[in-house]
Homo-oligomer: A and B are copies of this chain.
Amino acid sequence: MDIRIKIGLRIKELRKNLSLTQEALAFKADLDKTYVNEVENGKRNISVVNLEKVILALETDIKDFFQATQFSSTN
Contacts and interface: CB of A to CB of B under 8 A. Distances in A.
B52 A63 contact: no
How many copies of this protein are present in the complex?
2
A72 B66 contact: no
Question: Contact residue range for chain A?
Answer: 20 to 34
A37 B16 CA distance: 38
Contact of A3 (B45, B49, B60, B73): B49
21 contacts: A3-B48, A3-B62, A4-B48, A4-B49, A45-B47, A45-B49, A46-B48, A48-B48, A48-B51, A61-B71, A62-B71, A62-B72, A63-B66, A63-B68, A63-B71, A63-B72, A64-B72, A65-B66, A66-B66, A66-B67, A66-B71
